[in-house]
C-alpha cells in the first residue's frame, strides 16, 4: 500500500493536522438509522476537495496519518455498506498527491546529486583532512 511506504522524509502528522480528524475508532460513528454517507460526505469533502498543493500537505506519516483515513473509509464500506464508488474520485485525488510527494522527494537536489554520483561510478575514499 502506497501510504505505508512513504519516504522517511515525509513529516509526521501533528495532533492539529487536518487528517487527524479521522484518526479515531470509528465504531459507532453513525447513529442507528442514519445514513453513513450522508453523515461523512461533507467532512470528507472538506478534507479532500482541495487544490493539488493542499492535498500534498495531507501526505503525512505516523499514528494519525493517512492509514487512519484508510481505516476509516474501510470501516464505512464494511460496517455500513457505503459504496467505494462514492469516494473513488476523492481517493484518486489523494493518490495523485501521494505520487506528487514521491516526485518531490525523489527529485530533490540531494537525490539528483546521488543520481549523478551513481552515473559516474564509485568515488575514491578520501583520507586525512578534507
| 31-79 pLDDT tens trace | 999 999 999 999 999 999 888 778 888 888 877 788 889 999 999 999 9
CA-CA distance, 51 to 67, in Å (whole number)?
21
Percent of the chain with pLDDT over 70: 78
DSSP conformational letter for 61: B
Residue showing cell 445514513: 35
pTM for this entry? 0.73
Residue 40 is predicted with a pLDDT of: 95
Output phi, psi for 75, to 5 deg: -65, -45
Residue 36 is predicted with a pLDDT of: 95
The answer to whether the beta carbons of residues 94 and 47 sit under 8 Å apart is no
Amino acid at each position: 500500500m502506497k501510504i505505508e511506504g512513504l519516504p522517511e522524509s515525509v513529516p509526521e502528522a501533528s495532533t492539529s493536522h487536518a487528517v487527524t480528524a479521522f484518526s479515531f475508532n470509528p465504531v459507532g460513528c453513525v447513529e442507528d438509522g442514519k445514513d453513513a454517507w450522508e453523515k461523512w460526505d461533507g467532512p470528507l469533502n472538506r478534507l479532500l476537495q482541495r487544490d493539488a498543493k493542499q492535498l500534498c500537505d495531507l501526505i503525512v506519516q505516523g499514528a494519525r496519518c493517512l492509514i487512519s483515513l484508510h481505516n476509516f473509509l474501510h470501516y464505512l464500506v464494511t460496517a455500513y455498506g457505503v459504496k467505494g464508488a462514492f469516494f473513488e474520485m476523492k481517493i484518486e485525488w489523494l493518490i495523485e498527491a501521494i505520487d506528487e510527494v514521491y516526485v518531490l522527494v525523489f527529485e530533490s537536489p540531494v537525490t539528483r546529486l546521488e543520481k549523478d554520483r551513481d552515473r559516474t561510478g564509485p568515488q575514491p575514499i578520501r583520507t586525512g583532512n578534507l
